[in-house]
Amino acid sequence: MPDRERIMKSIEVKNLVKTYGAAETAVHALKGVDLDVFEGELQLLVGASGSGKTTLVSIMGGILSATSGSCRIRGAETIGLGQKQLQKIRLDNIGFIFQGFNLFPALTARENVEVALDLKGFRGAEMRRRAGALLERVGLGAKLDAYPADLSGGQKQRVAIARALAGEPRIILADEPTAALDSFSGKLIMDLLQELAREKNRAVVVVTHDNRIFDYADRIVRIDDGRISERIMPEKGMAHHHGMMHTTFEPAAAV
C-alpha cells in the first residue's frame, strides 16, 4: 500500500455537527466528527443503527446539509453552498450506490445507466455506447436489455454500480451495498468496489453492518452516538479486530 502521507485526500471532514430540531427536542446526529477519505482506498464506516454513519455519508455526498463544521470534496468546501452548487459538485465528483438499488423498474439495465449519462450531457449513439461499455465493465454485457424484475439482487446492484460510474466519479459512496445480497453476490460487489479503489485510484466509502466484508477495508472507522470511536488499519488477511469478526464468503447463488 502506498505511503499515506502522499495520498491525496478526496474528502476532508472537520468538526462536523448535525442537529435535527431545537431546544429540548433536538437530536444530535453528529457531534464534531473529523474524518479523512483518501483516493485509492476502500474505507468502511461501521456502527449501530442511529449512530450517525448514514447522516455522515449523506453530508459528504452533498445530499444533506450540516449544522456546522467543514466538509471539503476534493478541496472544495461544501458546507453553506446552495442546492445548485451542491448538485454540480455531486455531478462532477461523486457516484452513489444504495442498498435498495434505486433502479427504474420500467427501464432496461442499459436505460437505467443512460439516465445518469443523460445528466452528464451524453446523447444518442454515444450515450448508448457508453452505457453498454459500463455494463460490460461490471460483467453484465449479456443483460443490457433486461428489466430489473428479471435480474437477481447481485445483478441489480451491478447495474447500480455501472450507473454510479457513468460520470467517471473520483469518489464512490455506497450505503449498505451488500446488505440485501447473499454471500456470493456480496463478494462480487465488494471485489468490484475494491478494484475501483485500488486499480482505478478512486476513493470508496462503504457504510455497512456487514461483518463479512471487513477484510476488504483499507481503513475501518467506527461511529458511536454521533462520534468517531475507533479507527482501524486492518492488516492483510486479518480475521478479526476489536470484536469485529470476519466471516468467509461462500458461494450461495449465481448472480
Q: Which residue has the higher pLDDT, 210 or 255?
A: 210
φ/ψ of residue 59, rounded to 5: -70, -40
Q: Is residue 28, in this structure, part of any structural domain at all?
A: no
Average pLDDT (64-73) is 93
At residue 23, does pLDDT exceed 60?
Answer: yes
Mean pLDDT for the chain overall: 86
Q: For the chain, how many structural domains are there in total?
A: 1
Q: Is residue 49, in this structure, part of any structural domain at all?
A: yes
Q: What is the pLDDT of residues 83-109, one digit of tens each?
A: 899 988 998 999 999 878 889 999 999
Residue with cell 453553506: 80
Q: What is the pLDDT of residues 227-240, one digit of tens each?
A: 999 888 887 544 33
Q: What's the whole-model pTM score? A: 0.84
Domain at 54, CATH number: 3.40.50.300
Q: Check if the beta carbon of residue 56 is closer than 8 Å to that of residue 218.
A: no
Q: Is residue 6, in this structure, part of any structural domain at all?
A: no
Q: Is residue 21, in this structure, part of any structural domain at all?
A: no
Alpha helices, H only, 50-82: 53-60
- Residue 143: give the domain boundaries: 38-63+82-245
CA distance 73 to 12: 7
Q: Check if the beta carbon of residue 148 is closer than 8 Å to that of residue 159.
A: yes
Q: Is residue 232, in this structure, part of any structural domain at all?
A: yes
Q: Check if the beta carbon of residue 89 is closer than 8 Å to that of residue 81.
A: yes
Q: Is residue 87, in this structure, part of any structural domain at all?
A: yes
Q: Is residue 57, in this structure, part of any structural domain at all?
A: yes
Q: Is residue 137, in this structure, part of any structural domain at all?
A: yes
At residue 248, does pLDDT exceed 50?
Answer: no
* Burial track 31-66 (b if 16+ CB lie within 10 A, e otherwise): eebebbbbbbbbbbbbbeeebbbbbbbbbbbbeeeb
Q: What is the pLDDT of residues 168-206, one digit of tens each?
A: 899 999 999 988 888 888 898 999 999 999 888 899 999
**Cell numbers representing residue 116 in the block:** 445518469
